[in-house]
């Protein structure tokens, strides 16, 4: 488990922060009350974050900050000193943040900041600027916030990078660049990715206020005017990422089944409409399969609905792992699922469905009592040709009905 080091001579405060950290986040916490103790911990461990008081008994002038940074550690400074010049002096060092030790709200801010930094590791950020000096500066800022960072010199390079890394969460772009300026880049990105998919922040020293408005009208989420402080930059970047995460959470709640995490029926039809429009001129074939758990009522009646839910969850995992990332796996309700196998012929689709059926039949769900539960599924499937999606699903449903009537635990493919 990763660790956090608190260097703070106020034992009450150190223990309070430690208690809240352990209750809220998944980190081990060490406490040092002096620089000499901190050195021993740093010799033994690497830390995700260090929280540093700058007035220690054996280091009264902030020596702990320079020492910790020299060891390549990430640091958040804790201080009761509110002098503006002193604060700016410390912020010029390669620290993440400077936090006043004012009370419970400040401790909550520290917890939220560490949580944010932890989540940042899942995000890719791309910096687009023709200035090597600026790219290097931004790279340093962003890596200190734990982002995975890519840097390119102009808009065309940026578009290529987005093709290679479609999971980039945030693009930070300058305005004045050769080949393709920042405004043109925003316009091109928004042809493919909405604000629900990716954030864009424009940065420029341009004095024309119209540029600001044009960036926002073309789809930028925010605009930062040069020069800017490290604190402003960090807050705007983190706020943009947090907004994107919140959108994804809301979208997932709307599109996902609450029990299995698979796509729900509503998303299935929305996604399939887009997919079928995209293959209109390619002639790509796809198969639709309806899947149902055999004798599921008996499982619920015998073992209870909690066990029934576990059976549904396990089947969902088998269906997901047994299909391609391009395919669509959804729960239609109860014990019924619908699969779409894309860009496939009848024989390959039948092979995939048979493998899934066999895997389910050989699976054993072990209860807390040690009892093993076996279950099977029936599958009805068909290859989509000229009919509508609803007609294809109805035909697959008829094949499922035949599979059930013919003895269950089988695939019937028309």
Residues composing the chain: 414
User: % helix / strand / coil in the chain, to the nearest 5?
Assistant: 50, 20, 30
Task: Give the contacts of 171 (CB within 8 A, at least 6 positions apart).
Answer: 125, 126, 128, 158, 162, 185, 189, 198, 199, 200, 201
Within 10 angstroms of residue 247's Cβ, the number of other Cβ atoms is 15
Of 348, 352, 356, 338, give the one whose Cα is nearest residue 290: 338
Question: Which of these is catalytic: 37, 335, 354, 368?
Answer: 335
- Active-site residue, 335 included: yes
Residue 239 tokens, joined: 């706020």
Q: In terms of DSSP bridges, do strands 377-383 and 286-293 run parallel, antiparallel, or are they unpaired?
A: antiparallel
| Eight-state DSSP code of residue 47 | -
Indicate the burial class of 118 (C-beta count within 10 angstroms; 0-12, 13-18, 19 or more): middle
Q: Which residue has the tokens 């024309």?
A: 208
Adjacent-strand bridge partners of 100: 79
Q: How far apart are CA 174 and CA 189, in angstroms?
A: 14
Q: How far apart are CA 291 and CA 102, in angstroms?
A: 59
Q: How far apart are CA 6 and CA 31, in angstroms?
A: 5
Q: How far apart are CA 307 and CA 302, in angstroms?
A: 9
Q: In terms of DSSP bridges, do strands 97-100 and 75-79 run parallel, antiparallel, or are they unpaired?
A: parallel
Of 81, 82, 51, 45, give the one whose Cα is nearest residue 64: 51
Catalytic residues: 335
């Amino acid at each position: 488990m990763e660790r956090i080091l608190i260097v703070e001579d106020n034992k009450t405060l150190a223990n309070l922060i430690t208690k809240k950290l352990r209750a809220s986040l998944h980190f081990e916490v060490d406490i040092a009350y002096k620089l000499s103790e901190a050195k021993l911990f740093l010799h033994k461990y690497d830390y995700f974050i260090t929280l540093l008081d700058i007035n220690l008994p054996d280091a009264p002038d902030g020596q702990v900050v320079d020492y910790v940074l020299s060891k390549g550690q990430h640091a958040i400074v804790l201080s009761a000193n509110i002098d503006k010049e002193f604060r700016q002096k410390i912020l010029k060092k390669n620290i993440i943040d400077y936090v006043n030790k004012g009370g419970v709200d400040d401790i909550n801010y520290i917890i939220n900041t560490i949580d944010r930094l932890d989540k940042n590791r899942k995000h890719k950020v791309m910096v687009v600027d023709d200035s090597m000096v600026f790219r290097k500066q931004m790279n340093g800022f962003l890596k200190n916030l734990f982002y995975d960072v890519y840097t390119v010199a102009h808009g065309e390079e940026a578009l290529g990078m987005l093709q290679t890394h479609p999971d980039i969460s945030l693009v930070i772009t300058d305005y004045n660049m050769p080949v393709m300026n920042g405004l043109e880049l925003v316009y091109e990105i928004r042809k493919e990715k909405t604000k629900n998919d990716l954030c864009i922040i424009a940065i420029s020293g341009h004095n024309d206020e119209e540029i600001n408005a044009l960036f926002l009208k073309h789809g930028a989420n925010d605009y930062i005017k040069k020069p800017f402080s490290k604190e402003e930059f960090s807050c705007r970047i983190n706020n943009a990422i947090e907004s994107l995460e919140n959108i994804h959470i809301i979208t997932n709640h709307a599109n996902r089944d609450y029990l299995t995490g698979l796509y729900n029926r509503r998303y299935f039809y929305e996604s399939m409409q887009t997919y079928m429009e995209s293959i209109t001129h390619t002639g790509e074939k796809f198969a639709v399969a309806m899947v149902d758990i055999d004798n599921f009522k008996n499982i619920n009646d015998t073992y209870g609905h909690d066990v029934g839910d576990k059976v549904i969850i396990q089947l969902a995992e088998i269906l997901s792992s047994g299909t391609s990332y391009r395919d669509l796996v959804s729960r239609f309700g109860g014990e019924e699922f619908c699969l779409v196998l894309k860009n496939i012929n009848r024989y390959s689709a039948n092979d995939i469905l048979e493998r899934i059926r066999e895997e389910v039949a050989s699976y054993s769900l072990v209860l807390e009592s040690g009892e093993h539960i076996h279950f099977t599924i029936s599958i009805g499937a068909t290859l989509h040709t000229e009919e509508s999606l609803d007609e294809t699903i109805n035909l697959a449903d008829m094949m499922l009905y035949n599979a059930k009537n013919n003895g269950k635990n089988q695939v019937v493919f028309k």
